[in-house]
Amino acid sequence: MKKILLLFLLCLTGGGMLLAQVLKPFEIGQIHEEARMEKQMFERMKGVTAVDAIRDPYDVIHYRCRWKVDPAVKFIQGSVRVSFVARGNVDTVQLDLHDTLQVDSVLHHGQQVAFDHSGGHIRIPVPALSASDIDSVEVFYQGVPPSSGFGSFEQNVHDTLPEVPIIWTLSEPYGASEWWPCKNDLSDKADSIDLYLEVPDGNLGVSNGLIADQNSVSGWTTYHWKHRYPIATYLVCMAVTNYAVYPQQVTFGNNTMPLNNYLYPEDSADVVPQLQSIPELVTVFDSLFGLYPFAEEKYGQVQFGWGGGMEHQTATFAGNFSYHLLSHELGHQWFGDRVTCGSWEDIWLNEGFATYMTGLGYENMFNGQWWHPYIVAVMGDVTSAPDGSVRCTDTTDINRIFDGRLTYSKGAMILHQLRWVVGDSAFFQGIRNYLNDPSLGYGFARTSDLQSHIEASSGQNLDWYFNDWYDGEGYPSYDIGWSQTGNTLELVVNQQTSDASVSFFALPIPVKVYGAGSDTLLRLSHTYSGEIFQVPVSFKVDSIRFDPDVWIISASNHIASVPEINADEGMRVYPNPASHTVYVQLAKPAGHCNARLFDVSGRLIRSVTFEHTRSFAFPLPELAAGLYDLDVVVDGLHLRQKLVVD
């Protein structure tokens, strides 16, 4: 075959690429594009049923796949040997394969056996097995995989003069059985795989793991790919075309791992500069979450004919090479590939983590200049609507499973906010423990598994957090009034929530105090709306900022300096003028108070009663602009204030 082209950068002027050459400013639409593409993958699989009881009593140990593929022809021919261990009594093995593909024969220990191929399943009788018995079957098949307009097995072209054919696969969530016989579900990972790709000379067949061998016979070259890590069925992949290889590498301690990139030759000059951040990004994620999960083999990008990306294990398929896409897909190697969500209800464990890892790359690279804009943009996406839970309760609703705002953005931000709640040390240690848990690593996890590991590392019970932020909907808005008397700063913190599912979000909140050339960051444990904090300060305060580093999921926050309470008036009211809500702070705690709002004619507009409080929020109904009277009866004493509504 023709020698595969190896690409190298001839030089990097000044010792490195300029940041502008490899990184484009972040746009929130990139997250929603990721979600849209995931929805597209699921749409094509409507009606596919992946799990039924007949095949539940066995676990896959190993797949040996032999495939013959010509990228100029949409056709596959080959065999798959499935080795498995019985979990109970087994006399029938069921695999999944689309009915448009033809099964030529099935072998059991080299002997042809009967089978039934119908309804998208292959049912194969085997001698009676008991729990822990190991056996195998081999299926020989061929045909044209079905066309859905998108994946799972696509044949098209790249380049223009002349056109060059390519075949690529993309099986998420249940598309694998459209092109190969397998156990196609989200509950079992094969312990290892061997894949033999026989392709016409001049082409390179790419798959998971490392090339163990290759040989050419009569115009065809066979690439033997070996992968020795557990792998979910939907992450098995192949792509075949005239790839050029751009090799990189990354070092972990004393070991070096290849980063191999498989590119269209005509695009390589444009793509190579965009790959220069990847080795550093791998080491950043390694330092935060532990060793790259497949460090004994490789990582790399494989160019294919779709605009998005897919986190195939050790071999991300990429249709573009933006930092945002590549960092997201690399993040999936830890969250999605090493530990896979145990149900689509927990899809945020894949997508929320990968979205946050894009941000962590920004935090630790490029001088950190994109970190704050990224978090601000993602927070703004979360709070662009008042409702919505991270937990996906309807796993039949594709739009909800891959909702960019909830599964991706809010999933990422509840991780970011949890990092603030428990601190960096407990946060990252808990996640490393989650990834390395023997019952979860290279397996499947649920949200409760993540919670238990963060609880263990932090020493905190986090039921309240996951109840409010994973199950609950919406977010808080804060209104903070402050005043200073001598060296004491008093802050009154009120909160409203955007959705009724959560009446109050209990959180430690960051408030930064500035003045006299000094500043200090306060961490206020906010446990109820209207809570008053008295904090010693050593300087005259001239301004305050709420959450300057953007840790808290919130919106429409207000901070105001308020005058001291006049002893004769007994309360202070702010803001004044007001629009939607007015806040009242009393000179001393009251056992019972009733706040009433009147218009200038004396007509009662609203009356609200409060118990055992010193401050409260008084919501204003839809009111015409003008002057109103606020009358607050505190333990029988009337306190009155003119209020302007604008």
pLDDT digits (tens, 9 = 90+) for 72-109: 999 999 999 999 999 999 999 999 999 999 999 999 99
Q: How far apart are the C-alpha atoms of 187 and 190, rounded to whole Å?
A: 10
Instruction: Compute the distance between CA of residue 212 and CA of residue 197 in angstroms, rounded to an integer.
Output: 12
* pLDDT of the residue at 576: 87
pLDDT, mean of residues 58-76: 98
Query: Class of the 571-645 domain?
Result: mainly beta
Q: What is the pLDDT of residues 496-524, one digit of tens each?
A: 999 999 999 999 999 999 998 999 999 99
Burial class (CB in 10 A: 0-12, 13-18, 19+), 645: buried
Confidence band, pLDDT 50/70/90 cuts, at residue 47: very low
Mean pLDDT over each residue of the chain, to the nearest integer: 90
Angle subtended by helix axes 424-436 and 278-289, to nearest 10: 90
Report d(CA 45, CA 96) in Å as an integer. Answer: 14
pLDDT tens track for 7-29: 322 222 233 333 333 344 456 66
Helix ranges, 343-410 (H): 348-364, 371-382, 398-401
Question: 415: closest CA among 473, 338, 496, 359?
Answer: 359
DSSP label of 4: P
Exposure of 20 by Cβ count < 10 A (0-12 exposed, 13-18 middle, 19+ buried)?
Answer: exposed
Report pLDDT for 13.
28
CATH of domain 476-561: 2.60.40.1910
- pLDDT at residue 223 in the model: 99
Q: How far is CA 375 from CA 23, 353, 408, 454, 504, in A?
A: 17, 14, 13, 22, 23
**Average pLDDT for residues 188-210, to the nearest whole number?**
98
198: which strand partners? 68, 222
Domain segments of the chain: what residues? 48-235, 476-561, 571-645
- Give the integer Cα–Cα distance in Å for 259 and 286: 14
- For residue 613, report the phi and psi dihedrals to the nearest 5 degrees: -145, 160
The residue type found at 273 is P
Q: What is the pLDDT of residues 244-295, one digit of tens each?
A: 999 999 998 889 999 999 999 999 999 999 999 999 999 999 999 999 999 9
Does pLDDT of 580 surpass 90?
no
In this model, does residue 390 exceed pLDDT 80?
yes
**DSSP β-bridge partners for residue 494:** 479
Distance CA 593, CA 360 (A): 48
Fold of 48-235: Immunoglobulin-like (2.60.40)
Pairing state between β 189-190 and 164-169: unpaired
Residue 329 CB-density burial (10 A; 0-12 exposed, 13-18 middle, 19+ buried): buried
Beta bridge partners of residue 103, listed in sequence order: 141
% of the chain exceeding 90 in pLDDT = 76
Q: How confident is the model at residue 562 (pLDDT cuts 50, 70, 90)?
A: confident
Distance between CA atoms of 290 and 441, rounded to whole angstroms? Answer: 12
Task: Return the pLDDT at 613.
Answer: 83
Task: State yes or no: pLDDT of 493 exceeds 70.
Answer: yes
Q: What is the pTM of this model?
A: 0.88
Return the closest-CA partner of residue 126 out of 118, 477, 134.
134
- The two beta strands, 558-561 and 476-485, are parallel
Look at residue 6 in the predicted model and tell me its pLDDT.
Answer: 35
Reply yes or no on whether the pLDDT at 440 is more than 60: yes
How is residue 160 written in tokens? 């223009």
Residue 239: name the closest of 156, 163, 118 by CA.
156
In terms of Cα–Cα distance, which of 330, 329, 293, 84 is closest to 209?
293
Q: For residue 467, is pLDDT > 70?
A: yes
Give the model's confidence band at 159: pLDDT under 50 very low, under 70 low, under 90 confident, else very high: confident
Mean pLDDT of 191-203: 99
CATH topology match: 48-235 vs 476-561: yes
The pLDDT of residue 14: 32
Find, among 404, 165, 209, the residue nearest to 315 by Cα: 209
